[in-house]
Amino acid sequence: MSAEKIVFTSRQIETRVGELGRRISADYAGRELLVVGVLTGAFIFTADLVRVLDLDLSVDFIRVSSYGHATSSSGEISLVKDLDSEIGNREVLLVEDIVDSGRTLACLRRHLLERRPASLKVCALLDKRERREVEVEIDYLGFRVARGFLVGYGLDYAGRYRQRPEILELVRTTEDTSG
């Protein structure tokens, strides 16, 4: 893979994150929020989002491993790093960088709802809805995106590109035969 096409500039992302921040701040006004970022992809989005939220909040992270979610038939995930916080009776906002098949989000919601939070909502920067296999609700969405291999702003390809400030599509070149 070598050609890179910009899908969203850092400016466009910043504007959208600001809009999401205002909506979330209004919806949770006067309430205390626990923001839960899903590692690793959501680390940058979570960091930017919490800085535009005008709320009393805490931040925690959770890490899951999917069993090759794009091709897996089991569709299960395992918790690799659980939350440090108790979430019972708290208002929880789960933050994802991208929702693809929907399996990660569906499993995470099930796991977290068992702990009886006061509320559980989802904020995702990107929604690749065409690839959905499991229905999931996204309460706050940044952008809907089409097919394509996206990287940057937290998203990776083999661990690379996460630090790029924009969201890029990697386009395969004809000489690339590496699958």
Interface with ligand PRP by CB under 6 A: which residues? 38, 40-41, 66, 69, 96-105, 156
Q: Identify whether 100 is a catalytic site residue.
A: yes
Given 48, 60, 97, 100, the catalytic residue: 100
Distances (CA, A) of 110 to 114, 116, 117: 6, 10, 11
Considering the complex, state which of residue 33 and residue 105 has its C-beta at the smaller distance from ligand PRP: 105
CB of 66 to ligand PRP, least distance (A): 5
Considering the complex, state which of residue 116 and residue 160 has its C-beta at the smaller distance from ligand PRP: 160
CB of 27 to ligand PRP, least distance (A): 23
Distances (CA, A) of 99 to 104, 143, 175, 178, 179: 8, 11, 30, 25, 23
Considering the complex, state which of residue 27 and residue 43 has its C-beta at the smaller distance from ligand PRP: 43
Considering the complex, state which of residue 65 and residue 89 has its C-beta at the smaller distance from ligand PRP: 65
CB of 31 to ligand PRP, least distance (A): 26
For strand 91-99 and strand 32-39, is the pairing parallel, antiparallel, or unpaired? parallel
CB of 56 to ligand PRP, least distance (A): 27
DSSP code string of 113-144: HTT--SEEEEEEEEE-GGG-SS----SEEEEE
Query: Do 122 and 149 contact (CB within 8 A), yes or no?
Result: no
Element containing residue 79 per DSSP (H, E):
strand 77-81
- Give the three-state DSSP class for 179: coil
Is it true that the peptide bond before 40 is cis, omega within 30 degrees of 0?
A: yes
Report the catalytic residues.
Answer: 100
